[in-house]
Every structure is written in C-alpha cells, then in structure tokens.
Chain A
Amino acid sequence: MSYIGKFRVWRGDANGGSLEDYQVEVNEGEVVLDVIHRLQATQAPDLAVRWNCKAGKCGSCSAEINGKPRLMCMTRMSTFSEDETITVTPMRAFSVIRDLVTDVSYNYEKARMVPSFQPPKDLAPGEYRMQQVDVERSQEFRKCIECFLCQNTCHVIRDHEENKPAFSGPRFLMRIAELEMHPLDTADRRDLAQDEHGLGYCNITKCCTEVCPEGIHITDNALIPMKERVAGRRYDPVVWLGNKLFRRNRA
C-alpha cells in the first residue's frame, strides 16, 4: 500500500539553512533512506546524503529523525503513522557540510589518539592464544559500525563544543575499554582514559547506549567498568596505599 508521506528535511550548509517541506511517495516495507533517495531522484536532485550499505552495517546514513539520532536505513516507515510529518536533520553534534552530510573528522582525530593493541613482546604474530571466555567482553565492542550516533547524542560534546578537545566520546572510550580488557594487551590505559580522553566527563546518562543501532551496552559494559578500573588506580585509597607499599604497577 502506497501513500504520500509528509517530510521536513534540513537543507543548507555551514552558513545557514532551514527545514523544507516535501511530499514523497512511500511504499510498503520501505525505510526512511528509501524515501530520501526517492526525494533525491524526483524532487531534490541536489540533496546531499551520505549512505552506503543500506543494511545497518556501514554506519554512513546517521541522521536525526524526529529529533532522535537514528540510522536512516534502519528506521522503518511503518513505525510512523501516514499523517505524521517526519523531520530529517543532519547530526547536530558535528559541523554540517551540506544538507544531511556532516563533517565527522573529530572522530577520526580521536581514533588516532588511542594507542594501538600492544601484544606481549615475547609473542610473535601467529602465536596468540586466547580462551573464548577471555575475549567475549571485547568482542561485544567489536560490533561497533562507527556510525557515531553515540558521539552525536553524547551531551558532553553535543551541548558543549568546548569539551571536544578534552573528551573523546563514548565510541573511543569504549575502544580503550576493549583494549584494556583484552587478554593479550599489555598496556595500562587507565590514566590515558582519564587524562587524555576525558572519561571523567562522562556522567553515565546512557544516551550512547540508547541510540546504539548495534545494541552494544556501551555504558554498562565499557564506560562504567572503565570508570571502576580508573577508580581502582586513581581514587581508591586502599589500592593507592597497596601500590605505594608494595610498589605495584597494576591493581
């Protein structure tokens, strides 16, 4: 069953823009990205939109639909009523380039700040052996498709541009947690998480978890465990005393 859906799409660039109204055909089984493509093909050929796989695995078509950070390719039109006006805007934590396309280079800059995996020096590639039970925690975080919806919704940078230099956002704090929990990673990343990536800015309000299209429990399984590990190193007086007395490096 087809119908004519009402859409409001943000059009513009860094110099300014506005929400523009469109009426576009919607067919059964379609997602928002399908309709955006039809809009592009029939009424707005200059509409800029970033997309790739249309299967929720590339993380390209991140946007805000009715004010909620979502993947356009994973938002079914059947979740809206036919008379509802659907608003589509670019992600609002990042600089807009044009229309629905934003500049997400902040994320790549933060990614480069995370030191890579550091295996034991006495192990050569091909000699790594791990129990499944040891790698399961890290594997959850490997599901990340880097859509940056968690970064976009995190109020630490969404509402405070000035925090961007100090705070890396949930995606990269999760990356640090992934490596910190990796059974073969030898680096101690707790001070790094707190000092260089701003873990202390996170007030665990769980918006990153709410918007994650992969269903990763970012807050409960990465950020809070990382906060606990940092607390063990930096804020636990008993551990601190033990480290002083016994000259331990690890808690």
Chain B
Amino acid sequence: MTTHETGVNAPPRARLPVPTLRADRWWLGPALTVTGLTIFVVYATFRAFQQAHYFVAEYHYLTPFYSPCVSLGCTEEASLFGRFLPDHPLIPYAAVSLPFLLLFRMTCYYYRKAYYRSFWLSPPACAVPEPHRKYTGETRFPLILQNIHRYFFYAAGIVAVINTYDAIVAFQSPSGFGLGLGNVILLVNVALLWAYTLSCHSCRHVIGGRLKHFSKHPVRYWLWTKVSLLNGRHMELAWITLGTLMLTDFYIAMVAGGVISDVRFIG
C-alpha cells in the first residue's frame, strides 16, 4: 500500500515512516467481507444460471432464486405468474426480479460501506490510508446512481411480497395441506427478508425520516421508531439474509435433486 503527497504524509502534516501505526488486525474485517461476498456471488451466479433443481413439485417448494419463475423453461406448476421470458441459458428464470434484488443490495448503504472498504479499499479501515490517487466519492457517474437506492427498495418490497406468497402456497401441496422442514425454512427466510428490506435506510426515510415535525404525523412517527429499531440491525440482517437465501436455496436444490428427502411434520 502506498501513500502519496496529498495524503497523510503530505507536508505540513506530521510525517511518519509507515502508512499506519495501527497494530490491531484492521485487515480482518475487509478480508472476511471479501470472502463472504465472493462466496455468495459465486453461489448465486451458479444457481441463477443452472436452471435446474429449483422446484419441488411434491410440496410446492420454489427457491427464492427462481421466484417468480416466468421463463418458458419453467415447470408449469412453479410458474404462478405466467411464463413469458424466452428459455435461454443466459436468461435466468427469475430475470424479472434478480437484477432488482442485486441492485437493491449493491446500492444498500450497508453493502456500500462493505465493498467500498473491502474491495475498493477506500478506505480499507479507519485511519489506514487508501491507495488511490484521486477520490470523488459518489459525485460522478456511475456512483452518483447510488442515489436511486429507494427505487430498488420499492422493487425489493414487491419481490418480498412474491416470496411471501411462495412461502404460503408451499403449505398447499397436491395432496392437500402439509408442513415440512422446507416450509419452516421458507418462512424463516421470508421473515428475515422482510426484516432486511424494512430496515433499509431508504425505507426509514420514506416512512418518516423525511419529516420535520413528527408531532404532526404520530402514525408515521411510530412507524419510523419501529423501522429505526430494525435499521440499527441493518448490517446483521444484510449478512443473515445472504446466509438464509443460500441455505434455503441449497435445501430446496437438495430435495429437488433427490439427494435428501424433506422432513415432513404434517402431510
């Protein structure tokens, strides 16, 4: 890592022989972030384009990575919203939702912090010099587009409704009402997805943060306090939901692929 003459060693600042005097493991956080995000991106990319093992017809389990399943290649029972996208190896079956979910997470205030620090090293950690000669932040294209995060929040809300519908529909298998481990996993996943979506900073702003007078809007203020509580856990929810999305998808893929059988409690 290098410093330059406009950075911390630029005269007339106090010059030091090393870029940082931090002796703690400041590099651990960025390293873990890179590892975690890379695992998710690789897994999600593979699964989104695999176009197999996404639906368990017997129990009506549909993985969130394929919801809504709107490709002509989708199994008919899995397509609750019609099939209209061309069946092509480069077009994911859920191509109407996945790009918006990806952009929702990419423009999320927490993930921005995470990848600015870990992938772009801007900065890698507090009081550790960044390696870039110039910095313009989010003032120019393309990073200025981070400002439209709220629209991806709205889209994510719609997808969360669809995921909720999927989780409810999964209780009704062809043989009638049923309850299995897959249902529990789908329900937990969708509950956490809602928690992550509602804890979004844009949601906090839209719900009531933009107001100057809370006292004139008691209902919005009450909602704002609840969203603020969730917002305090936004980072945790961001990571937990990455994990539950992969876990949910993996479980359904295993059941759909016949590797394991669903643990059934009822039906």
Residues of A within 8 A of B (CB): 10, 12, 14-17, 19, 64, 66-69, 87, 89-90, 92-96, 102, 131, 133-134, 153, 155-156, 158-163, 181-183, 185, 198, 200-207, 210-211, 220, 224-225, 227-232, 234-236, 251
Contacts and interface: CB of A to CB of B under 8 A. Distances in A.
On chain B, which size bracket covers the interface?
A: 35 or more
A141 to B, nearest CB: 14
B155 interface: no
B150 A183 contact: no
B205 A229 contact: yes
B138 A160 contact: no
B121 to A, nearest CB: 10
A159 B210 contact: no
Given A155-B135, A225-B205, A131 B214 contact: yes
Contacts of B139: 198, 200-201
A153 B126 contact: yes
A231 B13 contact: no
Contact of B7 (A67, A133, A159): A159
Of all A-B residue pairs in the complex, the 3 with the closest CB atoms, nearest first, are A67-B21, A14-B12, A67-B22
Interface in B185-233: 201-202, 204-205, 209-210, 212-215, 221, 231-232
Nearest to B6: A161
Interface of B: 3, 6-8, 10-17, 20-24, 109, 112-113, 116-117, 122-123, 126-130, 132, 134-139, 143-144, 147-150, 201-202, 204-205, 209-210, 212-215, 221, 231-232
A68 B144 contact: no
Given A201-B137, A228-B201, A231-B150, A159 B130 contact: yes
A64 B7 CA distance: 16
Given A96-B12, A162-B6, 8 more contacts: A64-B127, A66-B22, A66-B24, A89-B16, A93-B13, A200-B137, A203-B138, A204-B116
A205 B116 contact: yes
B202 A182 contact: no
A222 B76 CA distance: 49
B219 to A, nearest CB: 13
A229 B210 contact: yes
Contacts of A153: 126-127
Nearest to B149: A231
B14 A92 contact: yes
A236 B7 CA distance: 35
Given A67-B23, A87-B21, A156-B135, A204 B112 contact: yes
B130 A17 contact: no
A228 B148 CA distance: 9
A203 B232 CA distance: 19
A95 B3 CA distance: 17
Nearest to B140: A200
B14 to A, nearest CB: 4
Contacts of B127: 64, 67-69, 92, 153, 158, 207, 211
Given A133-B214, A228-B202, A235-B144, A155 B123 contact: yes
Nearest to A98: B14
Contacts of A225: 201, 204-205, 209
A14 B12 CA distance: 5
A160 B132 CA distance: 9
A35 to B, nearest CB: 17
A133 B221 contact: yes
Contacts of B123: 155, 159, 205, 207
A147 B3 CA distance: 25
B130 to A, nearest CB: 5
29 contacts: A14-B12, A19-B16, A64-B127, A66-B24, A67-B20, A68-B22, A68-B127, A87-B21, A89-B16, A89-B21, A95-B12, A131-B213, A155-B129, A158-B129, A159-B130, A160-B6, A160-B134, A200-B137, A201-B137, A201-B138, A205-B123, A206-B113, A207-B126, A207-B127, A210-B126, A211-B126, A231-B148, A231-B149, A231-B150
Nearest to A223: B109
A14 B8 contact: no
A69 B128 CA distance: 11
Most buried by B among A95, A153, A155, A225: A155
